A and B are shown apart, each in its own frame.
Chain A
């Protein structure tokens, strides 16, 4: 199909689709006039019931914990897919001399890595009290590790991005979520029921299982992203850089 024909088919279709979309959206309640009831309900009951002050985290790891289990495995499966596609019988990665010469960049970079790592861990640790959570913090932790590649060298990155370390960590993160869910089954409760009591509101010892699911997710997300980074670097960036150097 030529581009012209494709556009001739697509533009009218898009017009019809856009009209349907707008027609549907006009029927929604006015912006700012949310009708509920679930949002209002959870904003009222999550803190008394679970002692978790970040209600979004309470929804993610408790009220809709089963949904998050599925999400974890979407992430896991996608990473497995990327690894299957990219991790091939490539010859040994070419030696790459990309060490950063500037001392300023290296020192500033090390400080940035430390700061980013700290922010990431803080986002995870307090994810059920203040804004943050396992997903958000996990991404920041992974970004901190990727910074090592940017401010130092590929060789330094390889120490972190080793598949022998990351693959088991990712499996432990994804499996940990399931194990915490199964722990409830063992004690005769439905899968993923919150165990351990709600604890004290506003402290790290609150939320029961939410805290553990939060950390398992952080591990899974940061390991998964690091696997992705290391695959793309190893299969694409490094061969390309070696070719041009």
Chain B
């Protein structure tokens, strides 16, 4: 079962993409983008996992104890921050679209603009 976390990451990525393409609502679309992005969290953490390893925190834990990779965890932290800020920006754009077009259905907006 050593492949399972990677398969999960691939599955989350594809499900998110499917949601983006079939979305009928810009808010839903933005959340699907977040789902797609969260596949990278699973992938990064899976890559850095060490069998039997503890967290890379050595307060009260002897130095040299097996621990997982701290670098990928720091990358996931960056990833989450970027994801949240981009989500905020997209939602603000969706609000603007709603103000201008009166709808958040991407298809209806595309029809309106010709």
Contact = CB atoms under 8 A, between A and B. Distances in A.
Nearest to B55: A131
Interface residues of B, number: 52
Interface in A17-52: 17-18, 21-22, 25-26, 28-34, 36, 38-40, 42-44, 46-48
Given A32-B51, A64-B74, A82 B92 contact: yes
Contact of A31 (B5, B73, B86, B107): B5
A39 B75 CA distance: 12
B72 A39 contact: yes
A236 B95 contact: yes
Contacts of A129: 59
Given A58-B70, A74-B82, A44 B46 contact: no
Interface in A63-105: 64, 67-68, 71, 74-75, 78-79, 81-82, 85-86
Q: How large is the interface on A (under 10, 10 to 19, 20 to 34, 35 or more residues)?
A: 35 or more
A135 interface: yes
Interface in B24-81: 43, 46-52, 55-59, 63-64, 67-74, 77-78, 81
B101 interface: no
Interface of B: 1-7, 9-10, 13-14, 17-18, 21-22, 43, 46-52, 55-59, 63-64, 67-74, 77-78, 81-82, 85-86, 88-89, 91-93, 95-96, 107
Given A33-B50, A56-B73, 17 more contacts: A22-B7, A31-B3, A32-B52, A39-B56, A39-B71, A43-B58, A44-B64, A48-B63, A54-B56, A54-B57, A55-B58, A56-B77, A60-B77, A71-B81, A85-B96, A130-B59, A232-B91
Interface of A: 3, 6-7, 10, 14, 17-18, 21-22, 25-26, 28-34, 36, 38-40, 42-44, 46-48, 53-56, 58-60, 64, 67-68, 71, 74-75, 78-79, 81-82, 85-86, 129-131, 133, 135, 202, 221, 224, 228, 231-232, 235-236
